[in-house]
Structure 1
Amino acid sequence: MKTALLVIDVQMALAHEDASGTKRSCPEAENNIARLLKEFRSAGDTVVHIHHHGTDPEDPFHPDAAGSAVQPVAAPEPGEPVVIKTGSSGFMGTSLHEILSKAGIERVITCGATANHCVESTTRSAADLGFQPIYAADAVWTYGITGPDGVHHSADQIHSVSMATLEGEIASVKKTQDILKM
């Protein structure tokens, strides 16, 4: 089955968030993204980079902000497509679907940030469009949030819930080591 790796929003705004001391899930995510990239590149398989560009000039992901730059661990290599999105799903308003279809891709592996936002949205859209998504459980990360009810949910809780809501119904959730064995 022809498979593509989708590297989502591994950008400096998130590295800045980490540097500020914000607690996050899955500290090994970037290392696992690097492992996936190395394997896909050495096999000559399709890698697509998805970057977020905020439309508000105050957004740390705005194209003029330092946060929009790609983290070195996920820097695209020549010939690897880069898709720019302004919403949460890598498919909405972009050429991602066309790129994958032209390449004959049937399955996508999603990794990057954040687990419960753009990676999950892209994974759900991929399933809706007929791709078979695999969500790389230890190659994504997220941050804690407080809900409208005032209840705080830790980064690890959010990460776990994201995996639980995707597994089986939307995607197959796998660790990097298991993905690399496929």
Structure 2
Amino acid sequence: MKTALLVIDVQMALAHEDALGTERSCPEAESNITQLLDKFRGDGSTVVHIHHHGTDPEDPFHPDAPGCAVQPFAAPATNEPIVVKTGSSGFVGTALLAILQDAGVERVILCGATANHCVESTTRSAADLGFQPIYAADAVWTYGLTGPDGKSHNAAQVHSVSMATLDGEIADVKSTNDILAL
């Protein structure tokens, strides 16, 4: 089955959050994304980079902001397509579907940030469009949240809930080691 790796929103705005000491899940995500990139590149498999561009000039992901730059470890190779999105799903308003269809892709492996926002949204869209998504559980990360009820949820809880809502119904949730063994 032809498989593509989707690397989502691995941009400096998130590295800036980390540098501020913001609590996050999955500190090994960058290392695992690097392993996935190495494997896919070594096999000559399809790798697509999805980058977020905020439309508000105050957004840290705005194209003119330093946070929009890609984190160096996840920099696209010259032959790897880059899809720019302005919403949460990498499929909405982009060429991602056409890129994957043109490459004959049937299964997508999703990694990047954040687990419960753009990675989860792109995973859901991939399933809706007929792809077989695999959510790389330890190659994604997120941050804590406070709900409208004022209740705080730490990053590990948010990460766990994201995996739980996807696994078995929308996607297969697997570790990087299990994905590399596929």
Quickly name the TM-score band, shorter chain normalised: over 0.9
How far has the Cα of 1:81 moved from its partner?
0.1
Q: Which residue of 1 aligns with 2:116?
A: 116
Q: Which residue of 1 aligns with 2:78?
A: 78
Q: Which residue of 1 aligns with 2:101?
A: 101
How far has the Cα of 1:165 moved from its partner?
0.2
Q: Which residue of 2 aligns with 1:143?
A: 143
RMSD, aligned α-carbons = 0.2
Tell me, what secondary structure is at the counterpart of 2:134? strand
- Kindly report which structure 2 residues correspond to 1:1-182, keeping only aligned pairs within 5 A, or say none: 1-182=1-182
Q: Distance in 1 between matches of 2:43 and 2:67?
A: 31
| Deviation by residue 1:143-166 (Cα, 9 ceiling, x = unmatched) | 000000000000000000000000
- 1:154 aligned partner, one-letter code: N
Unaligned 5+ segments in structure 1 are none
What percentage of aligned pairs have identical amino acids? Answer: 79
- 1:34 aligned partner, one-letter code: T
User: Runs (4+) of structure 1 moved beyond 6 Å?
Assistant: none
Q: Distance in 2 between matches of 1:44 and 1:8?
A: 19
Tell me, what secondary structure is at the counterpart of 1:164? helix
Tell me, what secondary structure is at the counterpart of 2:161? helix
- 1:163 aligned partner, one-letter code: M
For normalisation by structure 2, the TM-score amounts to 1.00
Tell me, what secondary structure is at the counterpart of 2:160? helix
Tell me, what secondary structure is at the counterpart of 2:109? strand
| Deviation by residue 1:16-40 (Cα, 9 ceiling, x = unmatched) | 0000010000000000000000000
Q: Distance in 1 between matches of 2:69 and 2:149?
A: 34
Q: Distance in 1 between matches of 2:101 and 2:168?
A: 24
For normalisation by structure 1, the TM-score amounts to 1.00
- 2:129 aligned partner, one-letter code: L
Q: Distance in 2 between matches of 1:123 and 1:57?
A: 28
Tell me, what secondary structure is at the counterpart of 1:116? helix
Tell me, what secondary structure is at the counterpart of 1:26? coil
How far has the Cα of 1:91 moved from its partner?
0.1
- 2:167 aligned partner, one-letter code: E
